[in-house]
Amino acid sequence: MDERERLIVALDVPSFEEAEKIVKTLGDEVIFYKVGLQLYTSAGPQVIKYLKELGKKVFLDLKLHDIPNTVAETVSVASSYNVDMMTIHTFGGFEMMEVAQKRAWKPDGNQVILLGVTILTSLDQAFLNDFLGVDRNLKDEILQLASLAKSAGLSGVVASPNEVRDIKLQCGEEFIVVTPGIRPEGYDSMDHARSASPKEAIIMGADYIVVGRPIVQSDDPLKSAREIQEKIRNGLSQRP
């Protein structure tokens, strides 16, 4: 893997024009981009087509959660756009994940990396216990969901940096973990209850890190991206 691919820049902007501006600014420094609900609702497949024509990789982060057939059909349509990664919710259950995985085939014959969303990084132990009524502690619940995703055939999960090592131990090193909520040192964690710096996340074993506002809203997005890429390289060199 090209080390630059480990940084996924979240295009959390409201329009295609703003996304295009960011991608042009970042140039070759960034290979992988996340298209989430906001941008996809605004620009739809247009933004995916644009990124693929530039030779970029696309992480379509729609966090699908519906009845199995609806999710499977949606995954099939999204796969036809040649996206490289996409997300579904593990809380949708084993059957939903299993049938979705079977439909995750790109036009080139390769499978889309289908990731299961475990517990959003904006949520904490209190939410799990008080709102969902789940008695397990947060990490145990995430490990349970990760195991369920692996059993259903998914390639990996989305989880906070805090859980990466345990997920790798339980599900294997080849099981992909993508970590959102990444904040450079000194940057406000904002709405992420469980966050880490780029270097910390990579040392913990994250395969990919997702960074949005620290780059997209930076006064100098290219400089910020370069600094984070350097942190990723440093983190890789310090892995156990």
Active site residues: 63
Q: Which CA distances in Å does 59 have to 14, 95, 174, 222, 227? A: 17, 23, 19, 20, 22
Which residues have CB under 8 Å from 130's CB, separation 6+? Answer: none
Contact, 79 vs 105, CB < 8 A?
yes
113-117 and 57-64 as β-strands: parallel, antiparallel, unpaired?
unpaired
Q: Which amino acid is at 57?
A: K
Closest to 221 (Cα-Cα) out of 27, 14, 12, 3 = 27
Beta strands in the chain, from DSSP E residues, in sequence order: 7-10, 32-36, 57-64, 85-89, 113-117, 156-158, 176-179, 208-211
Angle subtended at Cα 231 by Cα 227 and Cα 234, rounded to the nearest 5 degrees = 140
Query: For 235, how many CA atoms within 13 A lie in the half-sphere containing its CB?
Result: 26
Rounded Cα distance between 183 and 10, Å, is: 13
